[in-house]
Amino acid sequence: MKNFELSKRLTSLPPYLFAEIDRQKKDLRDKGIKFIDLSIGDPDISAPAAVIDNLYQAAKNKENQKYALDQGKQALRASISRWFLKRFAVTLDENKEILPLIGSKEGLVHFPLAFVNKGDYALIPSPGYPGYRGAAVFAGAKIYEMPLLEKNNFLPDLDKIPESVKNKAKIIYVNYPNNPTSVVAPLEFLKRLVAFCAKYGIILAYDNAYSEIYFEEKPLSIFEVPGAREIAIEFHSFSKTFCMTGFRVGWACGNENLVNGLLKVKTNIDSGIFGAIQDAAGYALDKEAVYMEDMRKIFKERRDFFVQNIKNKTFKNVHAQATFYVWAKLPRKFKSSIEFSKYLIQEKRIIATPGIGFGKYGEGFIRFALTCDKQVLKEAINLL
Ligand X SMILES: Cc1ncc(COP(=O)(O)O)c(C=O)c1O
Q: Rule CB under 6 A: which residues touch ligand X?
A: 41, 103-105, 108, 129, 175, 179, 207, 209, 237, 239, 245, 250
Report in angstroms how near the CB of residue 356 gets to ligand X at its nearest: 17
Report in angstroms how near the CB of residue 255 gets to ligand X at its nearest: 19
Other beta carbons less than 10 A from residue 317's beta carbon: 12
* Closer of 25 and 342 to ligand X (Cβ): 25
Bridge partner residues of 142 (DSSP): 121
Q: What burial class does residue 224 get, using C-beta atoms within 10 Å of its C-beta: 0-12 exposed, 13-18 middle, 19+ buried?
A: middle
* Closer of 166 and 236 to ligand X (Cβ): 236
* Closer of 105 and 303 to ligand X (Cβ): 105
Contact 109, 138 (CB under 8 A): yes
* Closer of 250 and 275 to ligand X (Cβ): 250
Report in angstroms how near the CB of residue 219 gets to ligand X at its nearest: 12
CB-facing half-sphere around the CA of 198: CA atoms within 13 A: 12
CA 95 vs. chain centroid, Å, equals: 25
* Closer of 209 and 231 to ligand X (Cβ): 209
3 state DSSP class of 242: coil
Where are any strands of DSSP class E within 274-324? 318-319
Q: Which DSSP category does 131 fall into? A: H
Other beta carbons less than 10 A from residue 13's beta carbon: 14
Report in angstroms how near the CB of residue 103 gets to ligand X at its nearest: 3
The one-letter amino acid at 272: G
* Closer of 295 and 384 to ligand X (Cβ): 295
Axis-axis angle for helices 289-310, 374-383 (nearest 10): 20
* Closer of 179 and 182 to ligand X (Cβ): 179
Report in angstroms how near the CB of residue 7 gets to ligand X at its nearest: 23
Q: What's the CA gap between 39 and 350, in Å, rounded?
A: 9
Report in angstroms how near the CB of residue 245 gets to ligand X at its nearest: 5
CA dihedral 9, 10, 16, 20 (to 10 degrees): -150
